Amino acid sequence: MSEDFSGLGLSAKVTDAVAAAGYTKPTEIQAQAIPHVLQKQDIIGIAQTGTGKTASFVLPMLTLLESGRARARMPRTLILEPTRELAAQVAENFEKYGKNHRLTMALLIGGVSFDDQNKVLDRGADVLIATPGRMLDQFERGRILLSGVDILVIDEADRMLDMGFIPDIERICGLLPPRRQTLFFSATMPPEIERLTKRFLRDPVRLEVARKNSTAETIDQKLVKVSSKPEDKRAVLRQLIRGADSLTNAIIFCNRKRDVATLARSLQRHGFSVGALHGDMDQKSRMETLDAFKTNKLTLLVASDVAARGLDIPAVSHVFNFDVPTHAEDYIHRIGRTGRAGRAGTSLTLAAPADGKYLDAILKLIQKDIPLLKVDGEASSATEAVADDEPRSEPRSRRGRGRDKRSDDAKPAREPTEARPPREKPEAKPQREKSPRPQRDERPASKSGRDPEYASDTPFGSDGPVPAFLLRSSVAR
């Protein structure tokens, strides 16, 4: 392995930019991949997260792009990323390492104005970094021609193919020139995904710098048994955060987006400096939250798996799995946010009784046990957790029905009271005397010849004389 970047065949402009960024020695994946990329070979690169996979393709691509020039709407290289955050991060790497070049770059991600992206595409982009959906949108609008792409990079390949991107990837590959260089980089490569790579790559060089599906040795992994009740889990999480040694910042992972928002609000109420990151947030909010966490304005970041893949935040001290990931590969990517670039890190996974099958899959994948951490003075009883967590208001009509029995037991028993005398019934009010009816003979008899007494009765609802038509005989004449 080369001792420094100068021996890898990179151009002087690139090595100067790398030195200015403070890097002197390449990582193992960089030392192996960069020469093959410069020789324009297809590559499958497998390495655990935090080992510098991004620089493995960014640095040689910058060297290759020094010759030639971009043409309007015809990018020379295409990099596909599964998430907006990863795409933006790769763009930052190009800006940092390409500062000595006059290369143009277009970033096509959702949540950004089409007009701003079109201006860059119309001028011509040497490097196109995109998520599959937005790139296809721009292609269908006629803003991109893919016939000039020389290099295709599919980053986080297992995630791109395993999470519903297969149709998009197949379509994009069909739009690209057949004679191109294709690079796959990922931390995991399941067999079913590896079979798909045979359709996209030609005689690839396989680079595997660590045991497949392994976790970094610099991460201290722990398992914490908790109750299935969310309020109990939140209480244990707070206790772990407060009791963690040398915690400078931490990412807390949840499986569902709605749980991300709920947990972030709960931690805020308890005085923690925390932000939330999930896929339903607009792009501006996501980038602002991520930037606040990177610049230490936030101590905790509650996130869905949108933050599990490839986000390069160098000094994350702790990772908490509030939920055990349902896909075993996600465990490797989640805890890989800490312990990066040789630093020490800590991961703690909260496991409920129902998480047994997911834990078994993780242990089988990483081929090692995760030590159990017992929480002292367990604050996971339901009553403590509810009292310590968000208050819940009940409807006024139902209060008192479901009271805790202990609160009733705490009250002294009511002393028997003397029998009260029966309450006397109030005297009945004297009934108002009815006014005497008018004499029957005071009213004229009906013309129909009916009995005058019957005819003189006042029908229900009438205060006056009965209309004559109501007194007609029903007997046919």
- pLDDT on residue 4: 83
Specify whether the CB–CB gap between 333 and 163 falls below 8 A. no
Instruction: Please check whether residue 83 is in contact with residue 109, taking contact to mean a CB–CB distance below 8 angstroms.
Output: no
Domains of the chain listed by start with CATH number: 5-208 (3.40.50.300), 219-389 (3.40.50.300)
pLDDT along the chain (477 residues), means of 10: 81 94 89 95 83 90 88 91 87 92 90 83 91 92 92 86 78 91 84 79 88 79 94 95 92 93 95 90 84 92 77 85 91 87 89 94 92 69 38 43 42 45 52 49 44 45 58 57
pLDDT for the residue numbered 308:
62
The pLDDT value given to residue 468: 66
3-class SS shares of the chain: helix, strand, coil, % to 5 = 40, 15, 45
Alpha helices in 42-190 (DSSP H): 53-64, 84-97, 114-123, 132-140, 157-162, 166-175
Task: From 195, 194, 227, select the one nearest 378 (Cα to Cα).
Answer: 227
Q: Which residues pair with 319 in a beta bridge?
A: 251, 347
Interatomic CA distance for residues 456 and 447, integer angstroms: 12
Query: What residues form DSSP beta bridges with 252?
Result: 302, 320
Give the pLDDT confidence score for residue 36 in this predicted structure: 96
Half-sphere exposure of 32 (CA within 13 A, CB side): 18
Full-model pTM = 0.62
Give the Cα separation of 75 and 143 in Å (integer). Answer: 11
SS3 state of residue 320: strand
> Exposed, middle or buried: residue 127 (CB in 10 Å: 0-12, 13-18, 19+)?
buried
For residue 240, which of 230, 252, 228 has the smallest C-alpha distance?
252
The pLDDT score that the predictor gives to residue 422 is: 52
Residue for token pair 């946010």: 337
